[in-house]
C-alpha cells in the first residue's frame, strides 16, 4: 500500500496520525527524555467494544526525526495491579513523572475503581512494576475515604521533592463531583502531603464563571512553560482540549481558551467556525516542547466508534501574554511544514471527513477510517462508506508543478470525485469510478495553471450512488 515518503533531508515525513495506521494510542501524554519523545497513553483496539482494553505500551521518536517512531513494547500489563489480577478491568489514561529519585512513575486509574494506582521504572521505556495506591499518612486510600470524590485521569508534575497530582471526572447532572482536584504528594510519590482542593469547576458549578460552556469534564494534564503553569483538560463538549493558567501549580487557575478541537470547531479560516469538519468525540492530550516548537497532542476517532482512537499532534503558537491560539487540525502535524507533493499517500491521513449533515460526534453508519488487509498481508487503513456528498480533506502540501491527481478506490459505487483546493472552492477536476471489488486507479489532469504552486490543501467530494472506499491519492507531474 501507499507510504508516507521522505523529506528533503531523507527522513520520513511526520503525519497525523503519527503512529502506524494499525496502532491506537489515545490520551497521549508526551515527554522528552534524553533526546527522544516518549508518548504514554491508554491503549485501544481496532473495532474495540470499549475504551482502553489493552496493556500500556509506549512509542518514542528522536526529537529531530518526528516521523521515525519506535515501538518500545509493553511497559505495563493490566494484571500487574493487585486489584486486577484477572485482567477484568481496563487501564484508563495514565500520566508519567520523573520523581526526586530519578525514577519514572506512572499514575493511572482502573475503570471500575476510584483510587489512583502508581507503578515505577528505572527507564522511561519501562517495564514498570506496581508500587502502591495514593494514600494519606494513616493509610487511608484516596478515593475510598469518607468525603472523597472519585479519582480519575491523573495528571502529574514533580518539582523538587513535591509532586502535584490533578484528577477528576465531572459528568453532566452529577452535583456530587465539583471539578478538577489537586492533591500534593510527598517524595515517596504515594503519600498525601496536602489534601485535595478544587482548582477548576465542573459543568454543574461553572455558571457565571469564565469556564461556563467549557467547564472541566476529564483528562487532567499539567505543563509548565516559562513562568506559567498550564492546566489542560477536556471540556464538557468533549471534542476540545482547553487550558487554564496560573503562576503557581496550586493556582488559582484562570480559564484561557481552547487549544484544539478534534472536529475543528472554532477554526474559521477555511469554513464557518461553528461547523465541524470531522467526526469528533472525547479528547485527551497535552502539550510539549520538542526542539524549538511546542505541540499539542490529542486523539481522533476511527471505525465509526468511540473505542478505536489514534494519536495526533499539531504545532501551537503563543501570544506574548502566554495565551494559546487554537490549533487547526491537519494531516501534516509535526512535519515542520507542508508535506511533499511527491509520492502516493495513504488516505487515512485525512484530517477532514464529513457529509452534508455535518455531525459533531461519531456516527457508526457515516464515512469512517477503517482497517483492512489483503489475504496474508499486513493491516492497512482506508476510508470506507463514502456516500453522495461526502467530503474528504488533506492539509497541507507544498505544490510544485502539479498537473493532475490519481486516486485508488474500491467498492460498489457509481459516480465521481470532485477535486478542490478548499471545501467550497472551484472544481478543478473530476475522477470517475464504477463498481469494482479491487483497488482501481483513476486520474485526471488539470488545465495549465489550474493548480498553483505553493502551500495547498486537497479536498475530494464524492457525487454519485452507492458507497465507495478510498485507499490512496497521488499528485501528478509532467
CB-hemisphere CA count at 13 Å for 233?
A: 35
Number of H helices, E strands in the chain: 0, 32
Got the DSSP string for 162-184? EEEEEE----TT-TT--EEEEEE
Q: Nearest 10 degrees: CA dihedral of 312, 410, 438, 403?
A: -80
Active site residue 27: yes
For residue 467 the three cell numbers come to 458507497
Report the Cα–Cα distance between both ends of the chain, in Å, rounded.
Answer: 23
Q: Among 21, 5, 14, which Cα is nearest to 473's?
A: 5
> How far apart, in whole angstroms, are the C-alpha atoms of residue 227 and residue 102?
23
Residue 383, beta-bridge partner list: 369, 470
Contacts of residue 402, defined as CB under 8 A and 6 or more positions apart, other chains included, come to 341, 446, 451, 453, 475, 476, 477
For residue 143 the three cell numbers come to 478515593
> How far apart, in whole angstroms, are the C-alpha atoms of residue 209 and residue 417?
47
> How far apart, in whole angstroms, are the C-alpha atoms of residue 261 and residue 258?
7
Residue 36, beta-bridge partner list: 33, 62
Active site residue 144: no
Is the distance from CB of 267 to CB of 306 less than 8 angstroms? no
Is the distance from CB of 336 to CB of 78 less than 8 angstroms? no
β-pairing verdict for 391-399 and 339-340: parallel
**Active-site annotation holder among 218, 264, 314, 328:** 218
Q: Among 460, 470, 331, which Cα is nearest to 395's?
A: 331
User: Mind telling me the catalytic residues?
Assistant: 27, 218
Amino acid at each position: 500500500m501507499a507510504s508516507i515518503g521522505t523529506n528533503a533531508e531523507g527522513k520520513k515525513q511526520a503525519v497525523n496520525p503519527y503512529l502506524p495506521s494499525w496502532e491506537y494510542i489515545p490520551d497521549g501524554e508526551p515527554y522528552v527524555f534524553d533526546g527522544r519523545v516518549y508518548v504514554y497513553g491508554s491503549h485501544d483496539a481496532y473495532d474495540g467494544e470499549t475504551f482502553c482494553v489493552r496493556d500500556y505500551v509506549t512509542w518514542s521518536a528522536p526529537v529531530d526525526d518526528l516521523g521515525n517512531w519506535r515501538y518500545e513494547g509493553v511497559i505495563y500489563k493490566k494484571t500487574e495491579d493487585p486489584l486486577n489480577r484477572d485482567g477484568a478491568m481496563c487501564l484508563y489514561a495514565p500520566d508519567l513523572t520523573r520523581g526526586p529519585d530519578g525514577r519514572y512513575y506512572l499514575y493511572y486509574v482502573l475503570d471500575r475503581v476510584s483510587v489512583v494506582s502508581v507503578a515505577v521504572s528505572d527507564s522511561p521505556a519501562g517495564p514498570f512494576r506496581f508500587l502502591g495506591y495514593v494514600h494519606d499518612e494513616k493509610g487511608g486510600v484516596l478515593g475510598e475515604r469518607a468525603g472523597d470524590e472519585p479519582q480519575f485521569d491523573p495528571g502529574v508534575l514533580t518539582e523538587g521533592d513535591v509532586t502535584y497530582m490533578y484528577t477528576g471526572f465531572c459528568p453532566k447532572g452529577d452535583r456530587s463531583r465539583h471539578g478538577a482536584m489537586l492533591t500534593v504528594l510527598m517524595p515517596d510519590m504515594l503519600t498525601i502531603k496536602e489534601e485535595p482542593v478544587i482548582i477548576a469547576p465542573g459543568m454543574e458549578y461553572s455558571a457565571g464563571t469564565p469556564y461556563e460552556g467549557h467547564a472541566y469534564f476529564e483528562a487532567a494534564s499539567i505543563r509548565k512553560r516559562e513562568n506559567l503553569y498550564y492546566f489542560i483538560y477536556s471540556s464538557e463538549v468533549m471534542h476540545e482540549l482547553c487550558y487554564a493558567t496560573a503562576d503557581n501549580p496550586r493556582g488559582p487557575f484562570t480559564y484561557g481558551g481552547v487549544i484544539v478541537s478534534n472536529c475543528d470547531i472554532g477554526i474559521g479560516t477555511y469554513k464557518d467556525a461553528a461547523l465541524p469538519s470531522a467526526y469528533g468525540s472525547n479528547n485527551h492530550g497535552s502539550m510539549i516542547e520538542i526542539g524549538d516548537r511546542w505541540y499539542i497532542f490529542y486523539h481522533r476517532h476511527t471505525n465509526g466508534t468511540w473505542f478505536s482512537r489514534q494519536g495526533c499532534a499539531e504545532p501551537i503558537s503563543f501570544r506574548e501574554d502566554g495565551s494559546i491560539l487554537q490549533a487547526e487540525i491537519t494531516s501534516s502535524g509535526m512535519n515542520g511544514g507542508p508535506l511533499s507533493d511527491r509520492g502516493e499517500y495513504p488516505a487515512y491521513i485525512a484530517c477532514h471527513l464529513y457529509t452534508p449533515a455535518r455531525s459533531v460526534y461519531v456516527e457508526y453508519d457515516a464515512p469512517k477510517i477503517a482497517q483492512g488487509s489483503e489475504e496474508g498481508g499486513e493491516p492497512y487503513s482506508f476510508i470506507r462508506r463514502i456516500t453522495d456528498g461526502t467530503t474528504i480533506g488533506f492539509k497541507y502540501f507544498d505544490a510544485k508543478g502539479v498537473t493532475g491527481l490519481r486516486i485508488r478506490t474500491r467498492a460498489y459505487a457509481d459516480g465521481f470525485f470532485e477535486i478542490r483546493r478548499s471545501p467550497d472552492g472551484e472544481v478543478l477536476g473530476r475522477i470517475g469510478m464504477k463498481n469494482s471489488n479491487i483497488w482501481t486507479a483513476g486520474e485526471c489532469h488539470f488545465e495549465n495553471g489550474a493548480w498553483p504552486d505553493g502551500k495547498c490543501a486537497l479536498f475530494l467530494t464524492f457525487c454519485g450512488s452507492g458507497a465507495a472506499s478510498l485507499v490512496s491519492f497521488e499528485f501528478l507531474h509532467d
